[in-house]
Structure 1
Amino acid sequence: MDVLSDVLTALRTGRPHASHTQEQAPWGIRFPAGAGAGCHVLLKGSCWLLPARGEPIRLSVGDVVFVPHGAGYALADHPDSPLTEFRFDTAVPADAVTDQDAPIQLLCAAYYFDRSSSHPLLEELPDVVHLSGRQPALAAAIELLAAELSDPRAGTSAILSGLVDMLLLFVLRAWFDDERSTQGWATVLADPGLMAALHGIHGTPEHPWTVAELAGLSGMSRATFAKRFNSAVGRTPLGYLTWWRMTLAARRLHDSDAPLRAIAARTGYGTEFALAKAFKRAYGVAPGEYRRRRLTG
């Protein structure tokens, strides 16, 4: 199992939205606060990112910014330019023919995450992730996006959806690769022992894992593993296991008509009652009510 991909797949709701933005100075776009996370790639020209907190950030060609926590922010040709509200229904579709002479060109993507089940991997990201785009893999993804936008053809819409997903994964990978932290997910993703334990949890969440078993997968003593896992991941091993099981249960309640007994079996709970009790403790509502709210919300 690929833990990073697994987490994003489980937490993201719906398909990512993508649009191609072309601007002439002066211009400014305000992205309101909400459940979405914004990712922007500057394809041509230069502009400024105006975060909800902190100083404006100047962007150059190839720069990528990811705003993960749903905070409001803006993009503009100058920090003092007037701002207009962004609306999806007025954005240029990502597969539309573009004006190659426009001085500013941006690819804007929006991802939606289930904020009721946030993962510590996302929680520890800063308000703004700013990358230069010089990392080879990230630069290659940007080049593919730019090429598809400059010459849209049959299948472009589907291709761009996959590329936008790929962009987010490359952004997160590049960020964690660049981190020099001695704790948190930058160390988790580079620690073969912790990753082995996480692969076990993610791969077979229905297994009745114990700390001793997970420590065995990691090649550490029980005490060393528990201390390292808690420090890096931000949860105890069994606390993380419970969180992952609840996340999977919530995803299946949202995306499928699977009966509660099938979801209980897949997530390691012997009975519907045991799952319902754990789920209500985690989400504050019974599974059936959660499913009804998501279907009607």
Structure 2
Amino acid sequence: MDVLSDVIAVMRTGEPRSALVEWRAPWGQRFRTVPGAAGFQIVLRGPCWLIPEDGDPFPLAAGDVVFLPHKGQHGLADAPSTPLVEHVCDPQDDARFERRYAAAPHEPPPAGSSTTVTLCGAYQLDAARVHPLLADLPPLLHLPARLGHHPRLRAAIDLLGAELEEPQPGTAALVPALLDTLLLYILRAWLADQPVDGRATGWAAALADPAISTALEAIHHDPARPWTVGSLGAHAGLSRAAFSRRFTALVGRPPLAYLTWWRLTTAMRLLRGSDAPLSVVAEQVGYGSEFSFANAFKREFGVPPGGYRRNSKAAARKLTSALAGP
């Protein structure tokens, strides 16, 4: 897997939620997400205003995309002065996707009022293990609609909107896949829009740097390999010292520190998602023995890998029971 795919695979938990909402002026709603969730808003038709938690309101137009990767609190309204009604956007809600109306769907709109259609949603992320790429994102990403710009993102939006507007056989399987696709395209679009020069730092600059991105791909492709700073530098085509300096400056931690972080993060995913013996998990993430793996895991997370697996499975069973209802 490539770096961006790995980030999504590790960070995402549960299934995303989405809704197609038709608003009729005057309207205003405040969206709050549960801890660890990221939210998005896409304007499909008509104008509206986004009211961020911090900062001034600004107008949105059809085709605009807003992604809130950290907390997700925000408001939407037909005008900045319209009072906001509270709504909690919880990715663990039983309704995975739906179409909602801010007014009765068959009521004629009042004379002179405008109608806005938005596509909103939320992703549940692993708050205990935030990948630095996502931590590097600003509180709010605004991707304005521009003709011919990010055509794949636009295609994903059109497909998702069509499935929610007119559900067909297979919609229940398509919508979660399209939501994951949408998240990847949003992140791709933001990374592509970042100005990168010789002084830039952060993950946008790291992935745009041929040498550092090559090293990151190598780590993610084969975390179990006994990498050293020298072998990673050689793989990237740089001397050991030059590679270490550049990697640390762009990624925010030294090469072997990131390698260890990624190995243990991958181990968390394997422990949650499989019943493989601890010795197998240790081998898959580059530890020579179950003992050394257990020590490293407990040092990082404060709990041994076996205990982490039991706790994760118990939490998953509790969530499944809660969603199933009485």
Could you tell me the TM-score, scaled by structure 1's length? 0.92
AA of the residue aligned to 2:29: I
Match of residue 250 from structure 1: 268
AA of the residue aligned to 2:227: W
- CA distance in 1 between counterparts of 2:310 and 2:93 reads 32
Q: 1:19 touches 1:91 (CA, 8 Å); kept in 2? A: no
- CA distance in 2 between counterparts of 1:227 and 1:130 reads 32
* CA-CA distance at 1:216 after TM superposition: 0.9
Match of residue 232 from structure 1: 250
Match of residue 14 from structure 2: 14
AA of the residue aligned to 2:264: M
- Structure 1 window deviating more from structure 2 (209-218 vs 126-135): it is 126-135
- CA distance in 2 between counterparts of 1:59 and 1:144 reads 21
* CA-CA distance at 1:295 after TM superposition: 2.4
Could you give the per-residue CA deviations for residues 38-66 of structure 1, whole angstroms, max 9, x where no partner exists? 01211112222222211223211101010
Q: Which of 191, 196, 199 is matched with 2:214 structurally?
A: 196
- Structure 1 window deviating more from structure 2 (274-283 vs 209-218): it is 274-283
* CA-CA distance at 1:133 after TM superposition: 3.3
1:35 maps onto 2:36 in alignment: yes
- CA distance in 2 between counterparts of 1:239 and 1:215 reads 15
Between the aligned residues of both structures, percent identity stands at 47
- CA distance in 2 between counterparts of 1:262 and 1:87 reads 39
Could you give the per-residue CA deviations for residues 207-241 of structure 1, whole angstroms, max 9, x where no partner exists? 11001110011011111111111111111111111
Q: Which of 313, 317, 320 is matched with 1:295 structurally?
A: 313
* CA-CA distance at 1:200 after TM superposition: 1.2
- CA distance in 2 between counterparts of 1:255 and 1:61 reads 39
* CA-CA distance at 1:87 after TM superposition: 5.4
For structure 1, list consecutive stretches of 5 or more residues without a partner in the other structure: none
Q: Which of 286, 290, 307 is matched with 1:272 structurally?
A: 290
Q: Quick one: structure 1 residues 36 and 267, their matched pair in 2 at CA, closer, same or farther if it must change by over 3 Å?
A: same
Q: 2:21 touches 2:99 (CA, 8 Å); kept in 1? A: no
Could you give the per-residue CA deviations for residues 56-79 of structure 1, whole angstroms, max 9, x where no partner exists? 232111010100012422222233
Q: Which of 163, 174, 178 is matched with 1:148 structurally?
A: 163
- CA distance in 1 between counterparts of 2:59 and 2:162 reads 24
- CA distance in 1 between counterparts of 2:93 and 2:11 reads 27
Counterpart of 1:201 in 2: which secondary structure?
Answer: helix
- CA distance in 1 between counterparts of 2:96 and 2:25 reads 21
Match of residue 83 from structure 1: 85
Match of residue 233 from structure 2: 215
Kindly tell me the number of residue pairs found equivalent between the two proteins.
297
Counterpart of 2:208 in 1: which secondary structure?
Answer: coil
Could you give the per-residue CA deviations for residues 59-117 of structure 1, whole angstroms, max 9, x where no partner exists? 11101010001242222223332322235699986365985988221111211111211
Match of residue 72 from structure 1: 73
Could you tell me the TM-score, scaled by structure 2's length? 0.84
- CA distance in 2 between counterparts of 1:91 and 1:105 reads 23
* CA-CA distance at 1:266 after TM superposition: 0.5
- Structure 1 window deviating more from structure 2 (239-248 vs 175-184): it is 175-184
Match of residue 121 from structure 1: 133
Q: Quick one: structure 1 residues 67 and 97, their matched pair in 2 at CA, closer, same or farther if it must change by over 3 Å?
A: closer
For structure 2, list consecutive stretches of 5 or more residues without a partner in the other structure: 110-114, 316-326
* CA-CA distance at 1:160 after TM superposition: 1.9
* CA-CA distance at 1:159 after TM superposition: 1.7
Which protein is bigger by CA-based radius of gyration?
A: 2
Q: 1:76 touches 1:83 (CA, 8 Å); kept in 2? A: no
Counterpart of 1:166 in 2: which secondary structure?
Answer: helix
Q: Which of 163, 181, 185 is matched with 2:178 structurally?
A: 163
Counterpart of 1:40 in 2: which secondary structure?
Answer: strand
Counterpart of 1:55 in 2: which secondary structure?
Answer: coil
- CA distance in 2 between counterparts of 1:90 and 1:158 reads 17
- CA distance in 2 between counterparts of 1:165 and 1:131 reads 18
